[in-house]
Amino acid sequence: MSPVLPLSGLVAIAGSRRGSPWPVAPVVALVLASGGAVRVGDQRGVDWAVRQACPSALVVRASQFPGPPKAQLAQRTRAVVLGHPALGLPPASCLLVFPPEGGAPALGPGSSLALRLALEAGLPVWVAGEPRPSG
């Protein structure tokens, strides 16, 4: 992980559908104040909080992808982090992850996938708190 986050670039944000105990809005405001843009998914929880804090966020919708719902969500997560050339989406410059509320000990499958993809791609990553990725 890099100690420097390029918040002035295209910042991907992922997190729990149950929300996160770490405040999302101030982090989104920091990205916007740095001149960055935000890309996020279309689910409830953290995705929703990001969209509320940044109505101009680029939202990647699972319904844009073929297949059963689980495959659509995985493809959506991949596009949020790595981009999707056919949709005109460039890769993100970094990933910000907000883990779940309620003391859950691990990231869910979508956040874990986002984290894994970002690390494999060599993207800088910031995770609020101290989650233990599953898988």
- For the stretch 3-27, pLDDT in tens is 567 889 999 999 999 889 899 999 9
Give residue 42's pLDDT band: very low, low, confident or very high (50, 70, 90). Answer: very high
C-alpha–C-alpha distance, residues 69 and 135, integer Å: 20
pLDDT at 2: 40
Q: What angle do CA 2, 126, 24 make, to 5 degrees?
A: 150
Q: Evaluate if residue 126 carries a pLDDT over 80.
A: yes
pLDDT higher for 117 or 104? 117
DSSP lists the bridge partners of residue 39 as: 12, 58
C-alpha–C-alpha distance, residues 119 and 67, integer Å: 26
pLDDT at 103: 53
Q: pTM for this one? A: 0.90
Once rounded to an integer, what is the mean pLDDT over residues 92-115? 85
pLDDT at 135: 44
Closest CA to 19 of 60, 39, 47, 55: 47
128: DSSP letter: S
